[in-house]
A and B are shown apart, each in its own frame.
Chain A
Amino acid sequence: MAIPGQKQRSNVEELLEGIWKQNPVFVMVLGMCPVLAVSVSAVNALSMGLATTFVLVASTLLVSALRNVIPKEVRIATYILIIATFVTVVDYLIQAISLAVYDALGAFIQLIVVNCIILGRAEAHASKNPPLKSVINALGMGAGFTIGLLALGSVREILGAGKLFGIALFGPEFQPWVVMVLPPGGFFVLGAWLLLFNWLNIRKAKPAAIQSAEARA
C-alpha cells in the first residue's frame, strides 16, 4: 500500500534507514537516557539494545496491524498501552533469562516505555505502513540503536575498566580511566562519537554535493 505522494521505498532501504541514515543514537540523538545510563559495559549495552529492539518490533507489528481500526483520537493512548505491554513482557523475559543483567539494567528496562524512538516509530511509520514494511523498518531502527549503544558501551568499558565483554584486554599494569564508567564519561564518549560523525559529514559534504548535482543532470 503506497501512500500517495510518497516514493515507494524498497525493503532494503527501509532496513538501512535506521542503521545508517537515521541512526537513532548518532543522527537523531533520541532516547538518550538509556543510552548513557546503561552503556558502562558492552554486555549491558547489548542487552539493552536487544530489549529495545524487541519492544520496537513487537509494538510496531501490532500498531501496524491495527492501524485501520484505531480511531485517530485515541491512537496515542493505544500506542502507549501496546508499548507498555511489551515492555512488561520483556521485563519478565529478562528476569527469566538472567537476573544479573536485570539488576545491572535496573529501572531502565521499564523506562523503555518512554523511549521516544518507539512512540516516534509507531506514530510516524507504523501507523501509515503495512506490517511487513514497518517491521523491517523497526528492525533497522533497533539494529541502529543497538549498534550505537554497543559503540558507546565498548569504548567506555575498554577505557574505564580495561575490559571488553568482561575479558581483560590489557595486563594487570593497566590503570583504568575510571571517569569513563562514571556519569560524565557517558556524556564525553557520546559527545566524541558525535564529533566524529560531524567530521565525517563535513568531509563528505563536498563530494556528495557534486554527486547529487550529477544525478540531477
Chain B
Amino acid sequence: MTESLSQIFIGTLLANNFVLAMFLGLCPFLGVSARLNTALPMGAATTFVMVVASLCAFGLNWLVSAFNLEFLRLISYIVIIASAVQLVEMVLKKYSPVLFRALGIYLPLITTNCAVLGVALFQTAREYSFTQALTFATAGGLGFTLALLLMAGLRERLRLATVPNVVQGTALSLMLAGLLSLAFMGFAGLGAGE
C-alpha cells in the first residue's frame, strides 16, 4: 500500500499525534510545557532536529541495508542523531548566534527525546520513501509543537486557578494530557474515507 503524502501528514499531525497518541517525547512534553514562551522555541528546535535526524536515518538505512548490517542499525542511528545534534549546535553557534540563543539550551535535551529516535525507527519500520519520510518527520515535529503549545496554554491558565494540594504537579499535568489526548481521538478517521 502506498500512503499519499497528505494522508501521512494529517495522520501524523493529528490522528496519530506523536505525543498524545503514540506517547513519544513525553519528557519534554511534561517538563517544558509550563510556559508558552519556552514551548514554542522548544517545539521549533525539536521539529528541526527531527527533520535532520530523519534525513540522516534515511541515508544510514540505505547504507546499512546495502551491506546487510541490520544489526548495527539502532546503534548507528543513535550515534548519528547525537552527532547531528552537536553539529547543528556548533553550526548555529558560529553562523547564527541569534538563533542559537533562542534554541541553544534546548538542543542537548533533544538528543534523549524519544520522538527523534522514534521518527527514525518508525520511518524504517514502515519502509517510507524519501519524500514520505520527510513529510512524516515534519508532521511529527509540528504535531509535537502543537501538543506542547496546547499544554502550555492550558497550564498557564491553571496557574491562576485554585487547585487542591493533592492534585498539584505531575498528576495534574497527566490528567490534562489525558483530556487533550481524548480530544485528539476525535481526529481518528480523518483522511481514511475513500
A residues sitting closer than 8 Å to B (CB atoms) are 29-34, 36-37, 77, 80-81, 84-85, 87-88, 91-92, 106-107, 110-111, 113-116, 119, 179, 182-188, 190-192, 194-195, 198-199, 202
* Residue of B121, B125, B179 with highest tally of chain A CB at under 10 A: B121
Report chain A residues within 8 Å CB of B114: 33, 111, 114-115
Number of residue pairs across A and B with beta carbons under 8 Å? 111
- Is the CB–CB distance between A202 and B166 below 8 Å? yes
Q: List 20 A-B residue pairs with CB atoms under 8 Å apart, sorted by A's residue number.
A: A32-B27, A33-B23, A33-B25, A34-B23, A77-B82, A88-B74, A92-B71, A107-B122, A114-B114, A114-B117, A119-B112, A186-B178, A187-B174, A188-B174, A191-B175, A191-B178, A198-B165, A198-B166, A198-B167, A199-B166
Docked complex Cα distance between A115 and B114 (Å): 8
Secondary structure of the B side of the interface? helix
Docked complex Cα distance between A199 and B171 (Å): 11
- Is the CB–CB distance between A80 and B26 below 8 Å? no
Count B-side interface residues using an 8 Å CB cutoff. 40
The residue in chain B whose Cβ has the minimal distance to the Cβ of A118 is B112
Report chain B residues within 8 Å CB of A33: 23-27, 114
Report chain A residues within 8 Å CB of B137: none
Nearest first, the 7 A-B pairs at minimum CB distance are A187-B178, A191-B174, A194-B171, A37-B23, A184-B181, A184-B182, A84-B75
Docked complex Cα distance between A182 and B114 (Å): 20
- Is the CB–CB distance between B121 and A111 below 8 Å? yes
Secondary structure of the A side of the interface? helix
- Is the CB–CB distance between B27 and A84 below 8 Å? no
Not counting A107-B121, A184-B178, a sample of 7 additional A-B residue pairs whose C-beta atoms are within 8 angstroms of each other reads: A32-B26, A32-B27, A37-B23, A91-B74, A111-B114, A194-B170, A198-B166
Q: Quick check: is B30 within 8 A (CB to CB) of the other chain?
A: yes
Partner of B78, one of A30, A106, A113, A184: A113
Report chain B residues within 8 Å CB of A198: 165-169, 171
